[in-house]
Amino acid sequence: MSLKDLLDSSKDKSLSGQKWHMLRQTIIKRLLSVGNATIAELSAELQSSVPTVTKAVNELLPEGYIIDLGKITNSGGRRPSLYSINPTCAYFLGVEVSIASMSIGLQNIKNEFVSIELGTSFVLENTQESLFEFCNLIKSFVEDCSVEKKMIVGVCINFSGRINSMEGFSYNYFFSENRPLTEIISEQLDMPVHLENDTRAMTFGEYSEGVVDDEQNIIFLNYSWGVAIGMITDGKLYYGKSGYSGEFGHSTIFDNGIMCQCGKLGCLETEISGWSLVNQFKKALKEGKQSKILVDDSSPVLQHHAIIAGAFNLEDPLCVDLVTKQSEKMGRYLSILLNIFNPDLLVIGGDFSQLGDYVLLPIQSGLKKYSLGLVNRDMKLKKSTLGRRAGVIGACCVIKEKMLSPLINN
C-alpha cells in the first residue's frame, strides 16, 4: 500500500475508527520524525498500551508501511524487535527546469534516489507545445522507473522567476489567468503537483541534505546565469507575504544605464551574474585581451558555462580575473544582507560555486571588508555540497515536506 492511503481520512467514521486511524498515523509519524523504535518505546511515547501498539504494528507490517529490522540486544530477557518506516511505502518526484535543460529525480521516503537524470535536453519556451513536451518528458521518466506510479505521492517542479507556490502560478512561464499551472500539469501527470522557485528549492535541499549542520538561520546564494537568494529562518523556508522573497539580483544598485533582464536599469545582475560575465568577457576581447577559450555565439548560456570552465579547467587568466573581480563585488553586496539578517550560515551555490576558492575567497574578502565585524565573525561561509543535484534534491524535499506535513505536524 502507498502512504497516500494513510494520509487520507479514515473511512471508518465511528469514534473508535477515528482513534484507531489516528494511532496508526501517530506510529508512522514517530518513525518518520525520530527514527527506529521498539514496541515498548512506541507504547511509552504514545501513551498507549503495549497490546494496542502491538496490534497496530502487526497491521502496518503486512500493509507495507513499516518493516521489522530484527531483534536487538538488551540487558536481559526477551530481545525486542526494532521497527522502521518502510523506504518503499512512498516516493517523491522532483523536477528542475532551466532554459536549456531539465533534471528529474525520484526519492524514496528516506531521501534515497531510486532514479535520477541530470541535464536532459529541453528548451524552455513560453508556449503550449513546450509545456506538453515538458509533461511528456516527465511521464516518460516515470514510465521508465521501476516504481509503480501509484506509489509516487506527489511532484515538485522548480522554475526560475516569480512563482506563487501557494496558488500554483508561474508568472514567467506557462502563465494562464484562468487556471493555476499546477492544475494543468496535474491533469497531464495524474498526480499532485507543487510549484516552487528554483532558488528556494535549492535552499531547502541544502538545508535538508547538504552542507547545513545544525544552523537554523541560513542564506543560500544561487550564483548562476542570474542571481537570487533563498532564506531559512528558524528552520523554515522564508517566502514573504506573497511568496516572492529572494529577488536579490533585481535590486537596483548601479547607476550604469544597463537594462536588466527584468526590464529595469542598474540591477545587481547587470554587473554580477552569468550573463553579465558573458558581456564582460566579450568586451575584454574587443579591447584586445587574450583568452584560451572560444565561446559559442549561438547560445549565451553555453558561453557562460564555457567561461566558468575556462577558469576552472584551464586557469585561463582572463576568465579567472573576471570571475575574481565579480565575486569580490558580490561579497560587498552580500555584506548588506549579513548586516540586516545576521545569519548563522551563508551557502554559496549555483554554477559559480563549482569554482571553489576562485569564488569563495574573493567573496569572503568582500564580506570582511564591508560587513560589520561582529556579524561576519559569528557567521560561517560554506560552498554547496550538492552541486548540480541541488535543485532536484530540493524539489524532492519540498514535496515530501508539503505532502507529509499534515501527518508530521498534527
Contact 355, 226 (CB under 8 A): no
DSSP at 161: S
| pLDDT of residue 179 exceeding 70 | yes
Which stretches does DSSP call E strand in 144-217? 152-159, 163-164, 169-170, 193-197
Asked if the domains at 90-203+391-408 and 213-385 fall in one CATH topology, the answer is yes
Q: Which helix (H) or strand (E) holds 81?
A: strand 81-85
- State in words which class domain 213-385 has: alpha beta
pLDDT tens figures, 28-85: 888 888 889 999 999 999 999 999 999 999 999 999 899 999 988 766 667 889 999 9
Contact 111, 389 (CB under 8 A): no
For residue 337, count other CB atoms closer than 10 A to its CB. 20
| pLDDT of residue 396 exceeding 90 | yes
| pLDDT of residue 190 exceeding 90 | yes
Question: Where does 79-149 have alpha helices with state H?
Answer: 128-144
Confidence of residue 147 (pLDDT cuts 50, 70, 90): very high
| pLDDT of residue 176 exceeding 80 | no
- 0.75 exceeded by pTM: yes
CA 321 to CA 309: how far, in whole Å?
Answer: 13
pLDDT tens figures, 359-371: 999 999 999 999 8
CA 177 to CA 282: how far, in whole Å?
Answer: 40
What integer pLDDT is reported at residue 406 of this predicted model? Answer: 63
The domains of the chain are located at 3-87, 90-203+391-408, 213-385
For residue 372, count other CB atoms closer than 10 A to its CB. 12
What integer pLDDT is reported at residue 304 of this predicted model? Answer: 84
Tell me what the pLDDT averaged over the chain comes to: 90
What integer pLDDT is reported at residue 409 of this predicted model? Answer: 57
Give the phi and the psi of residue 28 in degrees, each rounded to 5.
-65, -40
| pLDDT of residue 410 exceeding 60 | no
Q: Any idea which fold 90-203+391-408 has?
A: Nucleotidyltransferase; domain 5 (3.30.420)
Mean predicted confidence (pLDDT) in 145-165: 91
Contact 173, 186 (CB under 8 A): no
| pLDDT of residue 12 exceeding 80 | no
Confidence of residue 105 (pLDDT cuts 50, 70, 90): very high
Q: Which residues share a beta bridge with 381? A: 346
Looking at the chain, the whole-number percentage of residues with pLDDT higher than 90 is 66
CA 156 to CA 48: how far, in whole Å?
Answer: 36
Q: Any idea which fold 3-87 has?
A: Arc Repressor Mutant, subunit A (1.10.10)
